[in-house]
Amino acid sequence: MYTLCIRYTLDPNRIGGFRTYVENELPVIREAGGRNVAYYLPTDFAGPTNIGYGLIEIETMAEYERYREALAEDPNHARSATALAASGAVLSMERSFIRRYGDGH
């Protein structure tokens, strides 16, 4: 099992645009073959107020390639990505893969 870890640097004054993107992308992620672990938005309580994360599980790298192809062909994903870019909420994105070991308990 692989987890796609996406680290977003956000404009803290435009978090709403990112939140809308996440809400719209959750069904798209499922339909494309990914399993949403969670998206995390920053808080004002502690730590940076401009960092968000998205974690999406994929069984194999071959499934990841199919997932990417499905996203590329999905009109809802295209609309969400365009709206996110227009919102100015995301300043940069970093993608990496991590592997989960154990059952998390």
Would the pLDDT of 92 be above 80? Answer: yes
Whether the Cβ atoms of residue 91 and residue 10 lie closer than 8 Å to each other? yes
The pair of three-digit structure tokens given for residue 41, joined into one six-digit string: 């938005």
Q: pLDDT tens for residues 32-87?
A: 999 999 999 998 888 888 999 999 999 999 999 999 999 999 999 999 999 999 99
CA angle centred on 2, ends 41 and 50, rounded to 5°: 20
- Domains of the chain and CATH, by start: 2-99 (3.30.70.100)
pTM: 0.88
